[in-house]
């Protein structure tokens, strides 16, 4: 009998992406503190949180295969998370205009019963156009991306803010790198097809 698959996330974006695999799965909130540690790089933060989320849920459901993921926008070494509100989103987008950021999207797959644990990062280089304050305001009012790292949804109107996206895993920028996720699920024993 196949093991239960669990997504350790409250993100609707990650659920929408995982739905593409057409596998039955459950969703459980990991309840992990996402505060960066002193001096922690965006890359290290995304890796630590993805693994912590997967392990937290695997501790509660040891027989399951658990997916954890996290994304941190890296602006010249500074982590940018979810803005949470309009004012912070405005400040983020003003700082990011004309800049190239790396969105560090980490994913981890854990099964406590088998001892399986793997994690990978799918870095995505994103170049923002030099957008005006007025364009930022119009965008934020139209899409309200306050729950997205970096304050822009590339899968929606946010694409109009961008000059370029460079990635080898096309779903990584949305929040769950499915190529890497599939690779780890296969390694954990999940039959994807």
Catalytic residue among 19, 59, 70, 147: 70
Contact 11, 19 (CB under 8 A): no
Q: Are strands 116-128 and 100-111 parallel, antiparallel or unpaired?
A: antiparallel
Contact 18, 25 (CB under 8 A): yes
* 70 noted as active-site residue: yes
Contact 129, 163 (CB under 8 A): yes
- Catalytic amino acids? 70
């Amino acid at each position: 009998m196949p093991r239960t698959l669990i997504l350790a996330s409250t993100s609707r974006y990650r659920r929408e992406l995982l739905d593409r695999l057409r596998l039955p799965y459950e969703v459980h909130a990991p309840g992990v503190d996402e505060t960066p540690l002193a001096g922690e790089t965006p890359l290290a933060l995304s890796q630590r949180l993805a693994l912590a989320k997967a392990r937290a849920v695997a501790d509660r459901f040891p027989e399951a295969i658990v997916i954890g993921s996290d994304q941190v926008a890296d602006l010249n070494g500074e982590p940018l998370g979810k803005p949470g509100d309009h004012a912070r989103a405005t400040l983020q987008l003003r700082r990011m205009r004309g800049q190239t950021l790396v969105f560090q999207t980490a994913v981890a797959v854990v099964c406590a019963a088998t001892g399986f644990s793997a994690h990978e990062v799918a870095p995505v280089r994103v170049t923002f156009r030099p957008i005006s304050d007025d364009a930022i305001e119009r965008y934020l009012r139209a899409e309200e991306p306050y729950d997205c790292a970096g304050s822009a949804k590339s899968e929606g109107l946010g694409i109009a803010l961008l000059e370029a996206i460079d990635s080898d895993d096309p779903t990584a920028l949305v929040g769950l790198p499915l190529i890497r996720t599939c690779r780890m699920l296969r390694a954990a024993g999940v039959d994807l097809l």
